[in-house]
Amino acid sequence: MKGLIFLLIGLTAVVAVDCCHCCKKAAPVIPADVISGTGTVKQVGVEGGFFGIVGDDGQNYDPQNLPEDLKVDGLKVKFQLKKSENQASFHMWGIVVDVVKIEKN
């Protein structure tokens, strides 16, 4: 009888620990073709002027849909960008991208 009680207590503990593990939220999955990072918005004074993002990795990004409220020279941002395969830019500055997600950092 004692053995059965210990077995039930042990199984209850295992189930409780396993349930806690399942309830944790998984980190969101970012598609492979999305560029994630942080950087600084920069006003570039060529071709009439435009706003780009200089990534903390040193890469320049030419976003085609940067929200107006984030067009602030020197603003630190956290971003998710997708390379724009079917668009060209006359800016000739960085990788042409579409903003997937962006926020002040």
- State the average pLDDT over residues 13-21: 55
* pLDDT > 90: percent of the chain: 56
Highest mean pLDDT among 16-25, 38-47, 71-80: 71-80
When comparing pLDDT for 10 and 88, which is higher?
88
Quickly count: other Cβ atoms within 10 Å of residue 53's Cβ. Answer: 27
Rounded to whole angstroms, how far apart are CA atoms 36 and 46?
26
Encode pLDDT of 25-46 as tens digits.
777 777 778 999 999 999 999 7
The rounded mean pLDDT for the chain is: 84
Whether 70 shows a pLDDT value over 80: the answer reads yes
Rounded to whole angstroms, how far apart are CA atoms 3 and 58?
64
**Domain 34-104 class?**
mainly beta
